[in-house]
Amino acid sequence: MKRPILSLLCVVFLAQAACAGESLVYAVRTAETKAAQALSKTEIFSVDADSGKRKLIFSDANSQILLLPGSDVQSDIVAAGGRIFSRGVERKLYGSQRSDYPAAIFQLPASPAGKLRKIFDIENESGMGSNFRNLFISPTGTKIGYMKVCAGKPYLFLHETSTGKLLRKMDMSQMVFDLFVSSMGWMPDGEHLFFTLDRSEEDDNWRLPESQVGSYVMKEDGSGLTRIAPEAAMHPSRPGLQASAVGAAVVLGATRDGRYLVRDFQVGPAAANPGTYVYTLDPLADSQKTLGTETQVELRCFRLSQSGRRVALLATEPKGDAPGTSIDSKTVWLFDVESGQGRKLVSFASVQYGSAWIDLIGWLGHR
């Protein structure tokens, strides 16, 4: 009996070690407080997933660059493999009209000994702005990618992060058609990509077998394009609820054992708890496991840890009923992928952070 017990203890130890040393990275952009203040400030923090201890990593307040962190729809700052990257613009090039181009990708210091450096300039068309979308990073932090519209067509760009070398510029129009890419990222092997194609308006055509709406995996060169599962199978099946006609089930990440982290918005009567659901999907076993999130609050910024064992998300809950007095309360929740149970990791006081823009941008630490 000793050998099975020893084996079990080894498995438990390895599972705990896989999570040890992981730190979540998030950004806080403060609103302007003075008329004379021309620009807002973006700060990058890390928080230890076990202890909850926070520390400031970088601030662009006194830097030669201005970070362009993105919006609630997309993040333009990413972290993985002990590295942090952001879209930004040199302050000397930033005009009074607050143009977001000419922009570049910068590597930010991830430690006190780190240095800020520009990786590459983002290709721009004259008069078209940046058209920048879906910044994502490989598990080791050695490659970075993004989507961009060029000559009216959606292109995928992949770069090496050490030198900024362009590895690939691929026309995605034959894959995207009249849809758009709502999420994209690297698989754990660092060689394949996953992405979700969505529609820009409400309709139920995605339920048809011939619809292109759905989630896919392909090699970096675009070959081997495979649908993860029929779109209807991507949505969770919950009593009294059904998938919304607006928005596909969006893949957020993947684990090494072949599961995908997915989010979906379900509609139905209040008693059935409609809202956003986050779950793991195993397409081979045709099984799903829902995380214990609160569906009545706004959920966004979903970040799967590099170990694949933790999921962080940002929950926003409106506070106050009187007009003009509502202040959103923001909390970072950390969920265990296996158990589906979560706990609060960081809470942002409404008084201090009520007007701040907050985004989760990735993980540092164990792979």
Task: Answer whether 100's CB lies under 8 Å from 93's CB.
Answer: no
Check residue 244 and give its pLDDT.
Answer: 83
Task: Answer whether 323's CB lies under 8 Å from 346's CB.
Answer: no
Check residue 13 and give its pLDDT.
Answer: 37
Report residue 203's pLDDT band, with 50, 70 and 90 as the boundaries: low
How far apart, in whole angstroms, are the C-alpha atoms of residue 69 and residue 77?
6
Task: Answer whether 331's CB lies under 8 Å from 347's CB.
Answer: yes
Per-residue CA distances from 323 to 319, 320, 342, 356 (Å): 11, 8, 32, 20
Report residue 282's pLDDT band, with 50, 70 and 90 as the boundaries: very high
What does pLDDT average to over the chain?
84
Report residue 75's pLDDT band, with 50, 70 and 90 as the boundaries: confident
Report residue 149's pLDDT band, with 50, 70 and 90 as the boundaries: confident
CA dihedral 267→271→272→275, nearest 10 degrees, is 50
DSSP state of 352: H
How far apart, in whole angstroms, are the C-alpha atoms of residue 326 and residue 20?
38
How far apart, in whole angstroms, are the C-alpha atoms of residue 15 and residue 18?
5
Round to the nearest angstrom and report the end-to-end CA distance of the chain: 33
Check residue 329 and give its pLDDT.
Answer: 80
Q: 117 - beta bridge partners?
A: 107
How far apart, in whole angstroms, are the C-alpha atoms of residue 262 and residue 243?
13
Grouping H, G, I as helix, E, B as strand and the rest as coil, residue 273 is coil
Task: Answer whether 138's CB lies under 8 Å from 186's CB.
Answer: yes
Mean pLDDT of 217-229: 96
Check residue 81 and give its pLDDT.
Answer: 93
In this predicted structure, which of 50-64, 126-140, 145-159, 172-186 has the lowest mean pLDDT?
Answer: 126-140
Check residue 127 and give its pLDDT.
Answer: 55
More confident residue, 328 or 342: 342
Residue-wise pLDDT for 29-66, tens only, equals 886 554 444 567 899 999 999 999 999 999 998 899 98
Whether pLDDT at 355 is above 80:
no
Contacts with 203 (C-beta within 8 Å, 6 or more apart), sequence order = 245
Render the burial of 124-134: b for 16+ CB within 10 Å, e for the rest: beeeeebbbbb
Question: What DSSP assignment string belongs to 8-30?
Answer: HHHHHHHHHHHHTT-EEEEEEEE
How far apart, in whole angstroms, are the C-alpha atoms of residue 65 and residue 117?
10
Mean pLDDT of 86-94: 84
The region that residue 359 occupies, defined by phi over 0 for left and psi between -120 and 50 for alpha, beta otherwise, is beta
Q: What are phi and psi of 206, to 5 degrees?
A: -65, -20
For the whole prediction, is pTM greater than 0.85? yes
Mean pLDDT of 299-325: 81
Task: Answer whether 166's CB lies under 8 Å from 144's CB.
Answer: no
